[in-house]
Structure formats: structure tokens, C-alpha cells
Amino acid sequence: MTSLRNKDNLQISLLDRLTDDQPEISSEPRDKRGFSQAKLRENILRDLNWLFNSSNLATVENLEEFPEVESSVLNYGMPDFTGHTVSGINVPEIERLLKKAIFDFEPRIIRRSIKVKLNLDEKNMGQNAMTFDIEGELWAEPLPLQIYLRTMLDLDVGDVKVYDYSGSS
């Protein structure tokens, strides 16, 4: 029986499988076909940054009559938080929305493992910014990989930045 290396057992997104970083080369060497843990983490960060910085359809359309659309790709992204203030924001609702976006659009993070919590450390809080810690497990064989993310939400401009806080990248 052939033993599988860890990099052969990571879940690569469809986008990454279809992207050719070197189109001038017609075939890839065998050693370049693998996918490392560091590359998986890098791609998860990229995809979460895209997800959290995209405005969803529910921002401009009332989806109450179409509940199935709420969790579909038509509603990819997050509500627009621009112009809100820290004092006027519903923190549990933001935590829920971040978690729901990950549930709906990032299947490489195991659902039951996702935790989203406001980081109350004042050095991570701006005058009109909030910081959330996201913890979860990435799907991998033979064991899931732990991931710890720090997510900074700037309410003035609606910008979200996601950083790997795992200590490994």
C-alpha cells in the first residue's frame, strides 16, 4: 500500500485547481503538484479576505421572500458595515454574520470547529474599528489543522483585514 503524504491530503479549492500560475509551461513537474499546509493557509486567508470584503445581495435586496437565496452564492459576502459606530453595533450579530459567511462559503473550515469572538484587548480596538478572533480546524488528512485568525473590521470605510494568528505560515 502506498503511503500518502500530508500535502496530498489537503482540500484545494476549485479556483486554485483551475488557476495556472505558469501558463507558459505546458506540464507541471511532479513535485510542484502538491499543496503545502502553508499554501492552504495562505489561500484560506485570501479567500476569507475576499469574502469579508464583498457586499452581499442582502445589502441591497430584501431576501425575506427567498430564504434559499440567503445561503446561496447569489448572496456571497457580508452586509455593508460602513458608517456604523462601535457603540451602535450589535456585537453578537456581527459574530453570527462572520460565522454564517464562513459556514456558507468556506467549506475547508470544519463547521463544528468554528468559533468567532470579539477581541476586547483595547490595543486591538480602534476608535471606530473592531477586532474578532476566529478559530477553527481546516479539513486535512490524517488530522485537521488548527487555524487562528485575527479579523479587523474598520467601520469607517467598511474594510476587513484577516491575518493568520496561528504562529505558523
**Residue 127: which CATH number?**
3.10.450.40
The pLDDT, as a whole number, for residue 9 is 60
> What is the reported pLDDT for 152?
94
In a domain, 3, yes or no: no
Number of domains in the chain: 1
Domain hosting 98: range is 32-164
Q: Is the pLDDT of residue 35 over 90?
A: no
pTM given for the model:
0.81
Mean pLDDT for the stretch of residues 33-59: 89
Average pLDDT of the chain, as a whole number:
84
> For the chain, what percentages of helix, strand and coil (3-state, to nearest 5) are there?
35, 20, 45
- Look up residue 68 and give its DSSP letter: H
In this prediction, residue 78 has a pLDDT band, given cuts at 50, 70 and 90, of very high
Does residue 126 form part of some domain? yes
Q: Out of 4-8, 42-46, 163-167, pick the least confident.
A: 4-8
Q: Each residue of 121-138: pLDDT tens digit?
A: 767 666 788 999 999 999
Which is higher by pLDDT, 157 or 166? 157
Distance CA 18, CA 8 (A): 17
